[in-house]
């Protein structure tokens, strides 16, 4: 894993702040009656007004600036004018921006109005798993120590909320820097103590994805949208995080 200098981390944090601003604008706009395409337009506007470029738009042909994954969609949902948010929807928004050649990548899960308890627990559990992964971004740890922390927090959330959560199989976090997706792949579960050593300047996009049912997914005919195989709801939280001498540094905050 490449080690970024403090100045490079600051540059990544500048890109990350643009992502954070775009996600906050989308969060504020995600109400019943709004289309996911409108959310995409809002995010793109925020990104471009900041002098950055949407990382997702055109990436391997992807047609939008955000991924908007509603209810049983896990990741890579394509925004659409025909998809109108309704009360109780669970919406995961993934967003990336590149500024001065450096990438930021983050995701949030939003409830439209009041969520049912199961969906609220799902989003909270996923966010707690992310926080556990962030806490494991410490010099001297290895890659799978982060993965193991995510899994351990997921299992703790199952006890806390009295329900099982599926850790989505085959998807996870990744290295990030001058490119949006770089090695290594970061699983959201696994045994600790394996993989590359984390050192000051190591950067990962950490992104747990949990479901209320199966671990298995299906890719729709659009070749992008990933849904749960059983129709259960999913949540997705993500931050870009650096290892520093002073501990983990989240680079995708305003």
The answer to whether residue 168 sits within a structural domain is yes
Tokens 């290892």 belong to residue:
243
Strand partners, 77: none
The answer to whether residue 1 sits within a structural domain is no
Note the pLDDT tens digit of each residue in 127-160.
999 999 999 999 999 999 999 999 999 999 999 9
Query: With bands split at pLDDT 50, 70 and 90, how would you rate the model's confidence at 1?
Result: confident
The answer to whether residue 55 sits within a structural domain is yes
Instruction: Report in angstroms the alpha-carbon separations of 139 from 13, 51, 118, 126, 246.
Output: 19, 33, 36, 24, 9
| 76 annotated ligand-binding residue | yes
The answer to whether residue 154 sits within a structural domain is yes
| 60 annotated ligand-binding residue | no
Domains in the chain, number: 1
The answer to whether residue 194 sits within a structural domain is yes
| 174 annotated ligand-binding residue | yes
Note the pLDDT tens digit of each residue in 173-203.
999 999 999 999 999 999 999 999 999 999 9
The answer to whether residue 80 sits within a structural domain is yes
Tokens 């669970």 belong to residue:
90
Q: Which of 26, 244, 254, 248 is nearest to 131 (CA)?
A: 248
Q: Which of 23, 98, 18 is nearest to 55 (CA)?
A: 98
| 94 annotated ligand-binding residue | yes
**Helix pair 36-49, 6-29: axis angle to 10 deg:** 140
CA 199/CA 234 separation, integer angstroms: 32
- Output the domain CATH number for residue 12: 3.90.230.10
Task: Evaluate if pTM is beyond 0.95.
Answer: yes
What is the domain range of residue 165?
A: 6-250
| 103 annotated ligand-binding residue | no
The answer to whether residue 241 sits within a structural domain is yes
Q: DSSP code of 119?
A: H
């Amino acid at each position: 894993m490449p080690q970024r200098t403090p100045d490079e981390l600051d540059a990544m944090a500048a890109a990350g702040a643009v992502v954070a601003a775009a996600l906050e604008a989308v969060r504020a706009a995600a109400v019943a009656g709004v289309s996911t395409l409108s959310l995409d337009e809002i995010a793109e506007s925020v990104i471009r007004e900041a002098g950055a470029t949407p990382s997702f738009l055109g990436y391997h042909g992807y047609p939008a600036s955000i991924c908007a994954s509603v209810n049983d969609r896990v990741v890579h949902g394509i925004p659409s004018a025909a998809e109108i948010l309704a009360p109780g929807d669970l919406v995961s928004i993934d967003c990336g921006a590149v500024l001065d050649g450096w990438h930021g990548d983050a995701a949030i899960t939003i409830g439209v109005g009041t969520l049912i308890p199961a969906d609220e627990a799902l989003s909270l559990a996923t966010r707690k798993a992310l926080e556990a992964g962030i806490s494991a971004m410490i010099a001297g740890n290895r890659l799978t120590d982060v993965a193991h922390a995510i899994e351990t927090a997921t299992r703790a959330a199952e006890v806390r909320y009295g329900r099982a959560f599926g850790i989505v199989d085959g998807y996870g976090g990744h290295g990030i820097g001058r490119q949006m997706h770089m090695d290594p792949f970061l699983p959201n579960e696994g045994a600790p103590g394996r993989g590359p050593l984390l050192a000051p300047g190591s950067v990962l996009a950490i992104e747990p994805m949990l479901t209320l049912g199966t671990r298995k997914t299906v890719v729709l005919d659009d070749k992008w949208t990933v849904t749960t195989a059983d129709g259960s709801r999913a949540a997705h939280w993500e931050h870009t995080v650096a290892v520093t001498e002073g501990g983990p540094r989240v680079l995708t905050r305003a």
